[in-house]
Structure 1
Amino acid sequence: MDEIAFGTDGWRATLDTFTDGRVRVVGQAVADYLRAAGRDAPVAVGYDARETSRGFAESLCDVLTANGFDCILPERDTPTPVVAWTVRERGLAGALMVTASHNPPEYNGVKFLPETGAPALPAVTGRVEANLREPEALPEAEHGTVTETDLVGDYLDHALGLADADLSGLTVAYDAMHGSGRGVTDRLLERAGAEVVRLRCDRDPTFGGTPPEPTGTRLGDLVRAVETGEADLGIANDGDADRIGVVTPGRGYLDPNRYFAALYDYLLESHEGDAVRTVSTTFLIDRVAEAHGHTAHETAVGFKWVAEAMLEHDALLGGEESGGFGLRGHLPNKDGVAFALLTAAAEAAEPFDERVRRVLDEHGEVVQDRVSVDCPDDRKEAVLDALEGEIPDSVAGASVERVATVDGFKLLLADGSWLLVRPSGTEPKLRVYAESSSTRRVKAVLAEGEALVKSLV
């Protein structure tokens, strides 16, 4: 049980650690948590496209039903946002989602989603972890039942209403990366009128030998499809389709920071509202918000914090630089399926390349990069404690004007650049981020930040 820990977004581990026995322990802990909270509605148990995910989901159903809960099990692997939306829409007690998201196939994981459909906050996952114990069944007469059903149809009906757009005449290349977005995101785009060119829309539990993470280095075929004119726009999802990657003709893989700013600009044409971004996400969001009389709220890394702040501030849009975004009135969680439709609607209104150029012309260029520094988990706190006493007066020639401690240490520099050092929530590493107005400047700031961290590890 010591191997089970809920980090930034659930518990993930390689399959030598992520075993059926430990998964059942998690199922019992969630059953105990729900019972103590007085929640007796059915529980959804979703799963992604990995070879082992369906079996783990069935094991979770075994434990939950033995504890008296009815379970809803999707007929096929299903995107995390579809499961999350179903929880809220049907008034379920919560959900367990078996997925390792964008991690390689030798990993698996499990997320707990409470009744809101939002990511579970540490106050909740802490209580789940405190409940970890071997499963214990009620008398058979008190067992619940498992209902296997389709969750996608109702979700798509709802998602279509998020964008009032006719996509006829727009061709979108969609790359599912062999994950759970296949047959869901592409189907949504087609229902909205787009012609869809499908890439990697077959199930492959090995993801073709590439981690299902929609970053520029892993979307070569999608980039080619757009750059050669086969499609007007490219969209990809990660393994469980809660994140999005976007490709445009002029920029190739579109940096998620710029995508965030451009999409916020698009939404503000017809809506009002603040934005929420993580501490590692671009200040460009702040500039767009301020230009429209709104505010950008900063949170720690992890979409659970974004979702909490979205609800607190009634924010229109929340996001993070890793490609996860949430929308007011839809779901307090990241959703790569719904944002595929919103992205296509924005493209139909004004080509993304033109919108990005206009946003940068109006608010200034931004460039961001990051590196990772190896650091054992048991050394992270000591290194950060040491860093607190080693904050420099300047970085790459610019004075440090302020230090923010929302998540790690963020050094705000006099020239508008910033340097961030924070611990990874999923790996034995410290992350070092930098943002500035040029690639050259980012490299200089990042190099000094990396050297400082390495000197303390």
Structure 2
Amino acid sequence: MSNIKTVSTEPFEGQKPGTSGLRKRVKVFQQNHYTENFIQAMLEAIPEADGGAKNATLVVGGDGRYYSDQVLQVIVKCSLGQGVSKLIVGRNGIVSTPAASNIIRKRKATGGILLTASHNPGGPDNDFGIKYNCSNGGPAPESVTNKIYEISKNIKELKLGDAPKVDFSKLGTQQVGNLTIEIIDGVDDYVELMKEIFDFDAIKSFFANNKDFKMLFDGMNGVTGPYGHRLFVEEFGLPESSVMRCVPKPDFGGAHPDPNLTYAHDLVEAVEKQGFDFGAASDGDGDRNMIIGKKAFVTPSDSVAIIAHYAKEAIPYFMKHGVNGLARSMPTSQAIDLVAKKMGVENFEVPTGWKFFGNLMDAGRCSICGEESFGTGSDHIREKDGLWAVLAWLSIIAYVNKDKKAGVQDILQAHYKLYGRNFFSRYDYEEVDGQRAEDMVNRLRDQISKKELENKTVGGFTIAKADDFEYLDPIDGSVSKNQGIRIIFKDGSRIIIRLSGTGSQGATVRLYVEKYSSNAAEYADDAQVGLKPLIDVALELSQLEKYTGRKEPTVIT
């Protein structure tokens, strides 16, 4: 039995987890006892229904970003101190977020600790993150994150096990005092799950029968590199040239591991110049995705709608289980709403944050869901899943090509002809002054409360409704307020403005614009051209430049 020592400590300000855990600069986590405080608070906050930390089994993994190796050792010491029974850890601490969700569910674990800041840059001067996932495999709800925060504000002592340094590179089981540590290959269980969901033989046959069809997957130096290599090269037999940047790096190779047109420009350029038919990328921790084709970018909003449309025809999992409902985050375009209506299934609009989808899935009311921030998923786990979305698209391509030759652009245009097109774009203004951003949003809230915006016409668009989105969870009855400013126009167009909690410092202002068209002559138009009048209205109404000082967004998607 290892010795447990009690160490005095003091609370740190601001250890409040957001929708995806606690994210700060590495140097913040490196402060003496900062990480220990937070992990102990997290362990103490494990819901009583799960029995708390004592005798718990926890899955531990992450994206391998800088500082992960040291935090793994801290988790061992804190787990000993709190009486945790077992840790199931990915080799070298590497497990993608969706794979961790699957392992928690498959092994019936108490929960999981994920070391990731998702799509944020890594390295000694960049970001680190820690989040807790519950026994359903999904992110901790506010009841748990609030409890973590309350404990963190009053923590006075740490209970730490006196443990030798654990070698996380060796597969197998080892004992440290009363704590069992099982080190697993983080890829195996995930690939096994994907084989249960998709028809791997159909995808392999498609590639075998269409030798001229080339794909390129970009792991962005993140966690999905080994997963992508296993799937595309080893399982489907594609050449090594079908994958790029597939070795996880602590600093993501100095790149920004966010799969969008700006940060995945290496992939975009390669697809364009080398004539790839299909391109895909995933982010640092593997829960996001981007899909592109020849002269075609699939917005995440369109992607989830197209996956939902073909689900029961192209994906065995949905052929077997059916589609019980569809859902999207509030800022995501309404394209999936149209699919839900045609399918005759329930459709939900939820706040940003995957935990809201998880509630619906646990109740059997949502099968496929997505958010415009490049997250797509289904009820196979309780996290968004980047590689699942890529495999879904390959399944659709294989299915459609049984009857005719069709690429990504053809699939997009066929979808628009059936449903119309929801032109959609998001403007991100990163690391702006937090107080100024709050002032901008509060001004809009004040106008909404005074009903100053309704029936107002700006740039030819007349406002039908303006509110600050509020969500009543139909499963647990909880209410989430102040989830984003919505300005809805009489023609159905929308402007959404919200502050994101995924950055580690400053504020990120996200501006979303959406315009529906049923005019087939417009379906092939560039979204930025078609949306420009609405973007101008959004900038005028928000006075964004005045408040943030920014004339241009950091990223446009």
Instruction: Tell me the residue number matched to 2:198.
Output: 163
User: d(CA) in 1 for partners of 2:197 and 2:103?
Assistant: 16
Task: Please point out which of 534, 538, 541 is paired with 1:452.
Answer: 541
Shift of 1:448: 2.2
Listed as ranges, the matches of 1:34-433 within 5 Å are: 34=46, 36-37=48-49, 38-39=51-52, 40-69=55-84, 70-76=86-92, 77-105=94-122, 106-132=126-152, 133=155, 134-137=157-160, 143-165=178-200, 166-168=202-204, 169-170=206-207, 171-190=214-233, 192-193=235-236, 195-196=238-239, 197-228=242-273, 231-251=276-296, 253-269=297-313, 270=319, 271-312=322-363, 314-328=365-379, 330-350=380-400, 351-372=407-428, 374-377=432-435, 379=438, 382-388=442-448, 389=450, 390-392=452-454, 393-404=456-467, 405-406=469-470, 407-427=483-503, 428-433=507-512
SS at structure 1 position matched to 2:512: strand
CA change 1:191–1:403 in 2 (3 A) is farther
Cα deviations by residue, 1:246-303 (Å, 9 ceiling, x for unpaired): 121241x322222222212121434433211011111111112212222321011122
* Superposed CA offset, 1:370-428 (max 9, x none): 33464525835734532423425234322222335232221221112111122222352
Shift of 1:190: 4.0
Contact 1:12 1:108 in 2 (8 A): yes
Contact 1:65-1:146 at 8 Å conserved across structures: no
1:228 CA drift (Å): 4.9
Cα distance change of structure 1 residues 190 and 161 upon mapping to structure 2, 3 Å threshold: farther
> Which residue in the other structure is 2:40 paired with?
28
Q: CA deviation at 1:93?
A: 0.9
> Which amino acid is the alignment partner of residue 393 of structure 2?
T
Matched position secondary structure for 1:100:
coil
**SS of the residue 1:26 aligns to:** helix
* TM-score of the aligned structures, taking structure 2 as reference length: 0.76
2:298 alignment partner AA: L
Q: Structure 1 residues 198, 138: closer, same or farther in 2, change over 3 A?
A: closer
Helix, strand or coil at the partner of 1:298:
strand
- Alignment partners' CA distance in 1, 2:397 and 2:270: 16
Distance 2:508 2:263 in 1: 22
Matches of 1:167 and 1:293, distance apart in 2: 29
Partner residue in 1 for 2:555: none
When Rg is computed on C-alpha atoms for both structures, the one with the higher figure is: 2
Answering whether residue 26 of structure 2 is matched by residue 15 of structure 1, we say: yes
Q: Tell me the distance in 2 between the aligned counterparts of 1:13 and 1:377.
A: 18
CA distance in 1 between partners of 2:224 and 2:340 (Å): 31
| Gap runs ≥5 in structure 2 | 1-11, 164-175, 208-213, 314-318, 401-406, 471-482, 517-526, 548-557
The answer (yes or no) to whether the contact 2:217–2:281 under 8 Å persists in 1 is: yes
| Greater CA drift, 442-451 or 132-141 | 132-141
Shift of 1:113: 0.3
1:450 to 1:278, Cα distance in 2 relative to 1, 3 A: same
Q: Secondary structure at the match of 1:64?
A: helix
Structure-2 separation of matches of 1:151 and 1:230 = 33
SS at match of 2:113: strand
Identity of aligned residues (%): 25
CA-based RMSD:
2.5
Question: Alignment length, in residue pairs?
Answer: 455
SS in 2 for 1:345: helix
Gaps of 5+ in 1: none
